[in-house]
Amino acid sequence: MAYQVPLLIGGKMVPSRTEQWLEVNNPATQKVIARLPCATEAEVEAAVVAASAAFVEWKETPVPERARLMLRYQALLKEHHDEIACLLSRDTGKTLEDAKGDVWRGIEVVEQAANIASLSMGETQENVARGVDCYSFTQPLGVCVGITPFNFPAMIPLWMFPLAIACGNTFVLKPSEQDPLVPMRLAELFMAAGAPDGLLQVIHGGKEVVDLLLVHPQVRAISFVGSVAAGQHIYRTGTDHLKRVQAFAGAKNHMVVLPDANRQQAINNLVGASVGAAGQRCMAISVAVLVGEARELLPELQAAMAKVRPGIWNDPDAGYGPLISPAAKTRVLQLIAEGKREGADCLLDGSHVRVSGYPDGNWLGPTLFGGVTTDMTIYKEEIFGPVLLVIMVDNLDEAIALVNANPYGNGTSIFTASGAAARKYQHEIQVGQVGINVPIPVPLPFFSFTGWRNSFYGDLHAYGKQAVRFYTETKTITARWFDDEAVADPNMSIHLK
Ligand code: NAD
């Protein structure tokens, strides 16, 4: 019988009493690697109650102690880095190199959480009026919830619970039902690092479980990363129930290539950023905008993409792994067929690719479309597969107008040798994360992950200072002391010395 994933509630790994189970499959073979419970209403309740109970003590725990927990956790994660990456590869199909990146980007956020003392400091101002001082503290909210997607099962949970907990909150994590094994391992290591019982709970399931959390009176804040439809539902329902919500959603990221760009760099980066991780990255480049004479890059781009092939996680020659599920593959195949039907020019079609020895994997070869127009379904929808669309425009202004007219605003990049063109692009583009000769500009954790428009619903973003503000309240104190007489009193001044 396949491994049955437990729930983590109140510091204990407990078997679920549910009758509803899901299968977790290896996407390269379809082999069942685990059975996942959909937590019952009573189990969701128990998780929130355990988090609430733990909050009473944890919010009083001195900041340096909270920081030390993060230091111990960071050390343990580093020690187990390769082991977690292998598990991640098995669960998601990602190549080992890619899986290592997923784990490492998460560890970097834990490092940042260890800086909580300086990150969460308030402000002070002396003499806001005569003899009056004003200062502020940050204080934790209470129970926070995280709902995470399949595509970064290490990094995205680590965007959330370490910082929330370092701020003094307690946490309920609901990881993706498609690859829950890595989040469970992260939770085990968190406990092994000495986290008191109840700081972190992990419960499993789909929409029903999330919906219980969204309306729970003891939940104060919700962090979500996933698709637009789920993000809009979670943002609306959570805020309707007067909770703080940050919801990171889908994307359509453009890379603009100017004629003066370094040719080889532009091509290599377009290929890696579009098909890497099978295109299952919210910051993947899915549209190449070739400006003016840069259109001449297309044949070279096509040739370079044709050389990349998917493969099994430990195949050193594999460019990327399978899609996460047969359903995800079917959806991308339908979009490719729709692109052809709507008249785009399919220059490379990966629909029928095979990987020797793995006939059941959710493989898809690199796929390239030219002649794409903005009214086509393949342009309007996030594809989330190894598919790159190419659009030609005449000048930089047209490229900027095109990107700004797209409803998403997660990431974009420009490849050019011109500082002036790059400066114009970074200033005028309505996208929250911009790369200049950098294809996937994911900010490091001392900044924040700042998607805009339909790629983000909320105000304060993930990690960095913004996340600390998201996970805390600010308390501002205005203080005046009537101590003139005490200071003048010779007996009192002795005490004051
Ligand atoms: P998904 O929306 O299907 O699932 C994400 C999480 O939400 C899962 O835990 C799932 O159980 C839950 N969920 C799904 N539907 C729900 C619903 N109707 N109500 C409540 N909860 C629901 O997303 P996915 O397929 O796991 O991940 C891929 C998506 O995530 C892509 O759209 C990608 O762009 C996006 N993503 C965005 C970012 C970002 O930072 N903007 C980062 C990574 C992934």
pLDDT, one tens digit per residue, over 154-204 is 999 999 999 999 999 999 999 999 999 999 999 999 999 999 999 999 999
Q: Which runs of consecutive H residues, i.e. helices, occur in 307-395? A: 326-341, 377-380
> Does residue 496 sit within a domain?
no
399 and 274 share one domain: yes
Q: How confident is the model at residue 488 (pLDDT cuts 50, 70, 90)?
A: low
Supply 286's token pair.
């899915």
Contacts of 450 (CB under 8 A, 6+ apart): 432, 433, 443, 456, 461, 466
Q: Angle, nearest 10°, between helix axes 63-79 and 181-192?
A: 130
The string of pLDDT tens digits covering residues 309-345 is: 999 999 999 999 999 999 999 999 999 999 999 999 9
> Does residue 265 sit within a domain?
yes
112 and 129 share one domain: yes
Residues with CB under 6 A from ligand 1: 147-152, 174, 176-177, 206-207, 210, 225-227, 230, 233-234, 248-251, 282, 382, 384, 410, 451, 455
What's the gap in Å between 488 CA and the centre of ligand 1? Answer: 65
Nearest to 421 by CA among 273, 261, 252: 261
Phi-psi region of 411 (alpha: psi -120 to 50; beta: other; left: phi over 0): beta
Split into its structural domains, the chain has a count of: 2
Distance CA 257, CA 262 (A): 9
Please write down the HEC assignment for all residues of 441-473: CCCCCCCCECCEECCEECCCCECHHHHHHHCEE
The string of pLDDT tens digits covering residues 111-144 is: 999 999 999 999 999 999 999 999 999 999 999 9
Q: How confident is the model at residue 496 (pLDDT cuts 50, 70, 90)?
A: very low
382 and 459 share one domain: no
Which pLDDT score is estimated for 290?
A: 98
Supply 84's token pair.
């977690």
Distance CA 493, CA 487 (A): 5
8 and 106 share one domain: yes
CATH of the domain at 83: 3.40.605.10
Counting beta carbons within 10 angstroms of the beta carbon of residue 336, is it exposed (0 to 12), middle (13 to 18) or buried (19 or more)? buried
**To the nearest whole number, what is the mean pLDDT of the chain?**
96
Beta bridge partners of 408: 453
What's the gap in Å between 86 CA and the centre of ligand 1? Answer: 23
Q: How confident is the model at residue 1 (pLDDT cuts 50, 70, 90)?
A: confident
**Which range marks the domain in which residue 350 is found?**
253-406+411-436
Residue 374 backbone phi and psi in degrees, to 5: -75, -10
Please report the sign of the dihedral spanned by the C-alpha atoms of residue 201, residue 92, residue 27, residue 363.
positive
> Does residue 444 sit within a domain?
no
> Does residue 442 sit within a domain?
no
| Atom of ligand 1 minimally distant from the CA of 451 | 41
> Does residue 485 sit within a domain?
no
> Does residue 322 sit within a domain?
yes
CATH of the domain at 309: 3.40.309.10
Q: How confident is the model at residue 260 (pLDDT cuts 50, 70, 90)?
A: very high
Q: How far is CA 61 from CA 67, 241, 273, 409, in A?
A: 10, 29, 43, 39
As a whole number, mean pLDDT of residues 95-102 equals 97
As a whole number, mean pLDDT of residues 348-367 equals 98
191 and 271 share one domain: no
- The angle formed by the CA atoms of residues 29, 24 and 357, to the nearest 5 degrees, is 5
Q: How confident is the model at residue 372 (pLDDT cuts 50, 70, 90)?
A: very high
For ligand 1, pick from 148, 179, 202, 210 the residue to mutate: most ligand atoms within 8 Å of CB.
210
424 and 297 share one domain: yes
The string of pLDDT tens digits covering residues 221-251 is: 999 999 999 999 999 999 999 999 999 999 9
C-alpha distance across the termini of the chain, in Å: 73
Residue of the nearest CA to atom 26 in ligand 1? 149
Distance CA 189, CA 165 (A): 15
272 and 335 share one domain: yes
67 and 197 share one domain: yes
Residue 7 contacts residue 14 (beta carbons within 8 Å): yes
> Does residue 471 sit within a domain?
yes
Q: What is the pTM of this model?
A: 0.96
What's the gap in Å between 290 CA and the centre of ligand 1? Answer: 30
As a whole number, mean pLDDT of residues 399-415 equals 98
> Does residue 124 sit within a domain?
yes
What's the gap in Å between 175 CA and the centre of ligand 1? Answer: 10
Supply 413's token pair.
């990049």
Q: How confident is the model at residue 101 (pLDDT cuts 50, 70, 90)?
A: very high
CB neighbours (10 Å) of residue 340? 14
242 and 307 share one domain: no
458 Cα distance to chain centroid? 15
Which pLDDT score is estimated for 474?
A: 98
Q: b or e along 189-228 (b: 16 or more beta carbons within 10 Å of the residue's beta carbon)?
A: bbbebebebbbbbbbbbeeebbebbbebeebbbbbbbbeb
- The string of DSSP letters for 139-196 reads EE-SEEEEE--SS-TTHHHHHHHHHHHHTT-EEEEE--TTS-HHHHHHHHHHHHTTPP
CB neighbours (10 Å) of residue 188? 15
Counting beta carbons within 10 angstroms of the beta carbon of residue 484, is it exposed (0 to 12), middle (13 to 18) or buried (19 or more)? exposed
DSSP state of 4: B
136 and 264 share one domain: no
DSSP state of 2: P
Q: How confident is the model at residue 493 (pLDDT cuts 50, 70, 90)?
A: low
Q: In percent, how much of the chain has pLDDT > 70?
A: 97
Positions annotated as catalytic residues are: 282
Which pLDDT score is estimated for 335?
A: 98
102 and 217 share one domain: yes
Which pLDDT score is estimated for 177?
A: 98
Distance CA 358, CA 110 (A): 36
101 and 215 share one domain: yes
Residue 246 contacts residue 470 (beta carbons within 8 Å): yes
Residue of the nearest CA to atom 35 in ligand 1? 226
Distance CA 76, CA 114 (A): 14
Q: In percent, how much of the chain has pLDDT > 90?
A: 97
